């Protein structure tokens, strides 16, 4: 009797189940068919992704130490949308090469109609760093700059990419920055009173020297510490405004307020 009851119930509900199955199959089939076109595989690093062979009037500066640092390969450290960083074997310095386009080393899903931008040189980023190196090298831990391809007699540099493959670069051809390695600030960082004071001082100094953050919020990934001293390690979102040199109070207050909101998050 019990089996007959279950069978009768299943027979009554089966048409409804068929409707649901048909509905979901109609709904999911297009998505499943489009999925292969939406999945983007990780990209392999290649030196062709780096900005190279360009002509700028900015001279090469502070790169003499590379004669020693390049005796050992630089290891992959990390990347952003504008640059990719490699660490020296002594873990004291970082060389950052500019990217023509963002490098994606993870699987990702995008619209099937997405059209990837062509690799290009972002001149505004290069000129930004030329200004940064000229006006605030101490605040950014920058010690070297090479933007324009020339015959500066720079050494060749061996770098290890994210997959462990080695590439040898003629540094004379590539645009790059040389920076002291600092401990990055993260969203989970707990700041000591000394570190917090150092960051507040740094933000005020940047504003008073004419640099304005184009973002409205404080981005921790742009900052780092070396011996509890704060540095701006990624200045890509900062612009130099001469008028701010005359009156920087507004930018000082704005940057301090965004930092306080971040601290109280």
Report pLDDT for 36: 54
Least confident of 27-41, 152-166, 176-190, 230-244: 27-41
Which residue(s) pair with 88 in the sheet?
Answer: none
Most confident of 48-62, 160-174, 181-195: 160-174
Render pLDDT for 6-22 as a digit per residue (tens, 0 to 9).
455 545 555 656 666 66
Helix or strand holding residue 224 (H, E): strand 223-226
The residue among 89 and 102 whose pLDDT is bigger is: 89
> Whole-angstrom Cα distance, residue 19 to residue 61?
72
What pLDDT, on the 0 to 100 scale, is given for residue 106? 57
Q: How would residue 25 be classed by pLDDT, with cut points 50, 70 and 90?
A: low
Query: Per-residue confidence at 38, pLDDT binned at 50, 70, 90?
Result: very low
- Summarised one tens digit per residue, pLDDT across range 94-152 is 999 999 887 766 545 555 555 555 556 788 889 999 999 999 999 999 999 999 988 77
Residue 170: CB atoms within 10 Å = 13
Band (pLDDT 50/70/90 cuts) for residue 187 is confident
Task: Output the pLDDT for position 89.
Answer: 97
pLDDT at 115: 55
Give the separation between CA 265 and CA 259, rounded to whole angstroms. Answer: 10
Beta bridge partners of 239: 212
Q: Which two tokens stand for residue 83?
A: 């640059």
Mean pLDDT computed over 223-235: 95
3-state SS string over 171-226? CCCECEEEEECCEECCCCCCCCHHHHHHHHHHHHHHHHCCEEECCCCCCHHHEEEE
Higher pLDDT, 43 or 174: 174
Domain ranges of the chain: 2-40, 47-181, 193-263
149, 173 in Cβ contact below 8 A?
Answer: yes
Question: What's the average model confidence in pLDDT over 140-165?
Answer: 92
Q: What is the pLDDT of residue 119?
A: 56
pLDDT band, very low/low/confident/very high, at 76 (cuts 50, 70, 90) = very high
pLDDT at 35: 47
> Is-above-0.75 flag for pTM?
yes
Q: Which of 149, 168, 179 is nearest to 63 (CA)?
A: 179
For 98, counting Cβ atoms within 10 Å of its Cβ (0-12 exposed, 13-18 middle, 19+ buried), the class is buried
Residue 150: what pLDDT? 81
Of 4 and 64, the structure prediction assigns the larger pLDDT to 64
What is the per-residue pLDDT for 34? Answer: 46
Both tokens assigned to 4: 């007959």
- Token pair belonging to 22: 């048909």
């Amino acid at each position: 009797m019990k089996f007959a009851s279950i069978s009768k119930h299943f027979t009554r509900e089966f048409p409804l189940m068929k409707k649901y199955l048909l509905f979901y199959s109609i709904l999911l089939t297009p998505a499943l068919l489009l999925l292969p076109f939406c999945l983007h595989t990780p990209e392999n690093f290649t030196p062709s992704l780096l900005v190279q062979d360009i002509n700028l009037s900015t001279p090469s500066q502070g790169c003499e130490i590379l004669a020693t640092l390049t005796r050992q390969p630089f290891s992959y450290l990390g990347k952003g949308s504008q640059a990719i960083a490699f660490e020296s074997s002594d873990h004291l310095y970082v060389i950052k090469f500019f990217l023509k386009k963002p490098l994606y080393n993870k699987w990702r899903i995008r619209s099937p109609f997405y059209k990837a931008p062509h690799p290009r040189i972002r001149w505004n980023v290069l000129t930004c760093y030329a200004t940064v190196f000229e006006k605030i090298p101490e605040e950014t831990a920058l010690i070297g700059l090479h933007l324009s391809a020339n015959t500066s007699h720079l050494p060749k540099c061996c770098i290890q990419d994210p997959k462990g493959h080695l590439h040898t670069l003629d540094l004379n051809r590539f645009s790059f920055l040389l920076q002291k390695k600092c401990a990055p600030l993260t969203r989970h960082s707990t700041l000591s009173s000394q570190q917090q004071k150092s960051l507040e001082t740094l933000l005020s100094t940047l504003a008073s020297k004419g640099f304005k953050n184009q973002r409205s919020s404080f981005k921790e990934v742009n900052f780092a510490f070396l011996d509890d001293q704060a540095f701006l390690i990624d200045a890509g979102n900062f612009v130099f405004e001469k008028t701010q040199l005359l009156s920087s109070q507004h930018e000082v207050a704005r940057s301090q307020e965004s930092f306080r909101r971040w601290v109280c998050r």
